[in-house]
Structure 1
Amino acid sequence: MNLSDYQSQFLAFLFGGTNQPALPNSEVYRFGVEAKAVRALELSYPTVKALVGPAAFEELALDYFRMIRKQSGDWSDFGWGFPSWMISHRISDRVPYLSDVARLDNYVGRVERCQYQEVDFESFSAIGEDLSSCQLILNSGLQFFRSVYPIVSIWEAHKSHTPQDTLSFAQAKRMIAKGRGQNALIYRAGWRGMAEAISEKEIALLDRLRKQPSIAEAFGDDVLNETNFTGWLQDMISKRVIVGARTIH
């Protein structure tokens, strides 16, 4: 057997393409790699594991590992496509919101690992009477998205060892029964990723701000209500969602 054939057979065995080992003790090697794959996904998707249970999660993780195959040498990169891959997996028939929950887990992890910007308080002096001449700056590490499921409540509930006893679980159950979803805002408090449900109006506003229009364009007529604008801005600054302002030249 030449080297190319040997490598092909070994990789086929390693990723479950065949049950015939390529060399003695290769079962031990495959078991070790599979265990690392499962562990990497456990760290990245804790809420998914809590939802489906350890046994089902291990089966799901191994299905993903054998289908996708690890390409890089960095296990922290493994699993980036897990949420979208899960949509076509049979488990989504049983837990249809699982992909969106995985997406939220993934975004929380990204926010915790990224260079989350600090607030430039002095820059807010750029906000004057003419709100068409200045912009608000969103934190580049910020994440937000829409879901047809109550993903934030599900995520919150499953941080507890007894999710069924939490108010978040009861809220998620009611919302699922009514066919209602949530928009998720993911930001960082210290080094910890946080997820918060926000209104459709708020997520639409964040969408507009990401395109960097003026404050007047982003808020429209609502910006004339100074009290609401000031209160919202203070809250967003405290969460480092908004990190500064600048004049439009």
Structure 2
Amino acid sequence: MNLSEYQCQFLGFLFGETNSMQLPNADVYRFGVEAKAVRAIENSYPTVKTLLGPTVFQGVVVDYLRTIKKQSGDWSDFGWGFPSWIISHRISDQVPYLSDVARLDGYVSRAERRPFDEVNFESFSNIGKDLSECTLILNRGLELFRSTYPIVSIWEAHKSAEPRDTLSFAQAKRMIAQGRGQNALIYRTGWRGMAESISENDVAVLSHLREQQSIARAFAKNVLLEKNFAGWLQDMIAKGVIVGARTIH
């Protein structure tokens, strides 16, 4: 058997295409690769593991590994497509919100790794009386996420050792029964990723500001928010969601 034939046979064994392999320690090596895959996925998607339990989670990760056929030794980017892939997995028939949980986990994980902008307090002097001439600067590290499921409540509940005993679990259960979802704002406090449920008004405002629209235009249809603009802004600055202001005309 030449090297090319050996590699083809071994990769077929590694990814489950064949169950027989006449090579020393092949089972040990495959187990090691699968263990690394499980660790890599659980680091980025811890709530998914909690939802499924260790045994089912390991089986799903091994299915993912065999589907994408990872062959490099770099595990840093392993699992980037996991939330989309899991939609087609049979486990999603049992847990229909699993893909959205994975997406939220992924956003939180990335928020903890990527650079986060510091607040430039002096720049807020650019906010004048005419709010059509200035805009707010969003932190480049934040994410906005709409879900048809109460995704933040599910995520929060499963941070507890006893999810069913939490208020978040009760809220999620009630909202699922009512067919209601949540919008998520993902940001970071220190080095810890955070997810918070926000209103549709807040999503609209932050989306407009991300497009660098003026404060006046961003808040045009949100009269209630506009009346309490100072309080809203203070809260967003404290979270590091908004990091500055600038003139646009």
Tell me the equivalent position of 2:121.
Answer: 121
Tell me the equivalent position of 1:66.
Answer: 66
TM-superposed deviation, 1:70: 2.0
- State the alpha-carbon separation in 2 of the partners of residues 240 and 59 from structure 1: 38
Q: CA-to-partner distance for each residue in 1:108-144, whole Å, 9 max, x for gaps?
A: 0000001011100001111111211111111000011
- State the alpha-carbon separation in 1 of the partners of residues 56 and 101 from structure 2: 16
Tell me the equivalent position of 2:243.
Answer: 243
TM-superposed deviation, 1:22: 5.3
Tell me the equivalent position of 2:202.
Answer: 202
- State the alpha-carbon separation in 1 of the partners of residues 77 and 128 from structure 2: 44
Tell me the equivalent position of 2:98.
Answer: 98
Cα 1:125–1:51 shift into 2, 3 Å = same
Cα 1:218–1:64 shift into 2, 3 Å = same
- State the alpha-carbon separation in 1 of the partners of residues 140 and 169 from structure 2: 31
Q: Is contact 2:47–2:101 with CA below 8 Å preserved after alignment?
A: yes
Return 4-13 or 219-228, whichever deviates more. 219-228
- State the alpha-carbon separation in 1 of the partners of residues 150 and 179 from structure 2: 9
Q: How many residues align?
A: 249
Structure 2 unaligned spans of 5+:
none
- State the alpha-carbon separation in 2 of the partners of residues 180 and 208 from structure 1: 24
| TM-score for the superposition, normalised by structure 2 | 0.96
Tell me the equivalent position of 1:234.
Answer: 234
TM-superposed deviation, 1:74: 2.6
Q: Secondary structure at the match of 1:193?
A: strand
Q: CA-to-partner distance for each residue in 1:3-42, whole Å, 9 max, x for gaps?
A: 2222111111111111122521111111101110011111
Q: CA-to-partner distance for each residue in 1:176-218, whole Å, 9 max, x for gaps?
A: 0000000001111111011100011111111111111111121
Tell me the equivalent position of 1:53.
Answer: 53
- For the pair 1:163 / 2:163, whether they are aligned, the reply is yes
Amino acid at match of 1:116: F
TM-superposed deviation, 1:224: 9.3
What is the correspondence of 1:165-184 to structure 2 with a 5 Å cutoff? 165-184=165-184
Cα 1:246–1:73 shift into 2, 3 Å = farther
Amino acid at match of 2:208: R
Cα 1:215–1:112 shift into 2, 3 Å = same
- For the pair 1:141 / 2:141, whether they are aligned, the reply is yes
Cα 1:128–1:148 shift into 2, 3 Å = same
Q: Secondary structure at the match of 1:17?
A: coil
Report sequence identity in percent.
Answer: 74
Aligned Cα root-mean-square deviation (Å): 1.5
| TM-score for the superposition, normalised by structure 1 | 0.96
Cα 1:19–1:225 shift into 2, 3 Å = closer
